[in-house]
Amino acid sequence: MNQHSTHPLIRDRRIMVVPGVYDVLSAKIAERARFSSVVLTGYGVAAGYLGEPDFGLLTQTETLDVARRVTAAVRIAVVVDADTGYGGPLNVQRMVRDLVRSGARGIILEDQRWPKRCGHMRDKEVIDAEEHAAKIRAAQEARGDAPFLITARTDALGTHGLDEAIRRARLYKGSGADVLFVEGPRTREELRRIGRELPGPLAVNLIEGGRTPFCSLEELCDMGFFSVGFVLSGLYAAARALQQTYAEIREKGTTAGLGDKLMSFDEFNTLVGLEERYAEDERYRA
Q: Would you give per-residue pLDDT tens digits along the chain (286 residues)?
A: 455 678 998 888 899 999 999 999 999 999 999 999 999 999 999 999 999 999 999 999 999 999 999 999 999 999 999 999 999 999 999 999 999 999 999 999 999 998 888 778 788 899 999 999 999 999 999 999 999 999 999 999 999 999 999 999 999 999 999 999 999 999 999 999 999 999 999 999 999 999 999 999 999 999 999 999 999 999 999 999 999 999 999 999 999 999 899 999 999 999 999 999 999 999 998 6
Q: How far is it, in rounded angstroms, from Cα 176 to Cα 141?
A: 9
pTM of the model: 0.93
Looking at residue 118, its pLDDT comes to 79
Q: Map out the domains of the chain with their CATH numbers.
A: 8-239 (3.20.20.60)
Question: Using alpha carbons only, how large is the chain's radius of gyration in Å?
Answer: 20
Output the CA–CA distances (angstroms, integers) from residue 71 to 22, 32, 107, 233, 250, in the order listed. 12, 15, 13, 20, 36
Looking at residue 4, its pLDDT comes to 62
Residue 172 φ/ψ region, left for φ over 0, alpha for ψ in the -120 to 50 degree band, beta for the rest? alpha
The single-letter DSSP state of residue 252 is H
Q: Cβ–Cβ contacts within 10 Å for residue 271, how many? A: 14
Q: How far is it, in rounded angstroms, from Cα 74 to Cα 55?
A: 28
Looking at residue 1, its pLDDT comes to 40
Please report the DSSP string for 232-245 in residue order. THHHHHHHHHHHHH
